[in-house]
Amino acid sequence: MPEEASMRDAYGETLVELGKANPDIVVLDADLCPSTMTKYFMKEFPERSFDIGIAEQNMVSIAAGLAASGKIPFASTFAVFAPGRCFDQIRMSIAQPGLNVKLVATHGGLSVGEDGTSHQAIEDLSLICSLPGFTVIVPADAIETVQAVKAVASHQGPCYIRLGRPKLPLVYTEDYRFELGKAVMMRPGTDATIIAMGIMVATAINAATELERQGINCQVLNMPTLKPIDEAAIIKAADETGAIVTAEEHMEHGGLGSTVALVIAKHQPVPVEFVAVRDTYAKSGKPAELLERYGLTAKDIVNAVNKAIKRKLKS
């Protein structure tokens, strides 16, 4: 079993590191600092920490005001609440004026588990990607989280990072260097390409290993930056392998699959299959049970790859 680590801890610890280096970094939370792990920063830099209480709309607009005054605010809550609860505040206070706010939302996707529908963000990426000017990142493990948080701190403009609740297996080693807007080749292959992000990257690698046993040589791309997406990498993958499967812990609409399909349709039409939550809400359950119930396992990816390859051979 690969080593597991918490993305949320990685975020919290990186914030402290950033805070030590840059006095303009400020942190906001909405009464969830022990869960989002902003608690580390809040303990270290109380004068630069603002727990706004259970008022996400207020938090988002306050963060915008801080950014308009030269600060670099990191604002955190659960992904269901930002962007969901405060979409208009994000749109008008942050996105339209292009203010330098960093929203880091935790507890994304179905892997939240037992808390159920109200706490399972499966539409957040669709909402946030619809806002012009936002940079959107979904890291695949704790190591990529550290790098992504550092990258957005030095990037001018609105950013959204989505993290998950559970510990995840590490897909990277410490020498990994995240590059904003760049896909990362996790495993080369010739028959098809799996494009995945977040929790689904490790699952995609497992699926590729299983496919290898079936005699299928499958490439895996990690797409940590959902927006602006690495179009060149997608076009190259479509060109070289002729079949694409996307995998995400999100609704089929408006997330990774939709974005990749847009690029494919415009530039390099090949068969695309989508591993994502269909048009439904989920329910309480253990993360693994939910991922299985809603079609987000390695087996689902294997089936999707086989389907995509079949379509490719037919055409």
Q: Which of these is catalytic: 13, 44, 56, 240? A: 56
The nearest distance, CB 68 to another protein, in angstroms, is: 6
Using left for φ > 0, alpha for ψ between -120 and 50, and beta otherwise, residue 300 falls in alpha
Cα–Cα distance measured from residue 107 to residue 212, given in angstroms and rounded to the nearest whole number: 32
Give the residue with the Cβ less far from another protein, 48 or 165. 48
Q: Write the DSSP symbol of residue 108.
A: B
CB 151 within 8 A of CB 114: no
Q: Which of 8, 48, 287, 236 is nearest to 142 (CA)?
A: 8
1's enclosing H/E stretch is none
Please list, in sequence order, all residues whose beta carbon lies within 8 angstroms of the beta carbon of residue 168, skipping any fewer than 6 positions away. 4, 5, 7, 140, 141, 142, 199, 202
At residue 192, the 3 state secondary structure works out as strand
Per CB under 8 A, residues contacting another protein are 26, 47-48, 50, 52-53, 55, 57-58, 60-71, 73, 88-89, 91-93, 96-100, 132-133, 156-157, 228, 231
At residue 14, the 3 state secondary structure works out as helix
Give the residue with the Cβ less far from another protein, 53 or 188. 53
The nearest distance, CB 137 to another protein, in angstroms, is: 15
300's enclosing H/E stretch is helix 298-314
Beta strands, E only, the chain: 4-5, 25-29, 49-51, 72-78, 102-106, 135-137, 159-162, 168-169, 184-187, 192-196, 218-222, 225-227, 244-251, 272-277
Count of residues for the chain?
315
At residue 278, the 3 state secondary structure works out as coil
The nearest distance, CB 158 to another protein, in angstroms, is: 9
The nearest distance, CB 65 to another protein, in angstroms, is: 2
Q: Could you tell me the two tokens for 82?
A: 């930002």
Give the residue with the Cβ less far from another protein, 30 or 163. 30
Query: Rounded to whole angstroms, what are the CA distances from 239 to 43, 242, 312?
Result: 50, 6, 12
The nearest distance, CB 227 to another protein, in angstroms, is: 8
**Catalytic residue status for 56:** yes
Give the residue with the Cβ less far from another protein, 52 or 298. 52
Active-site residues, by number, are: 56
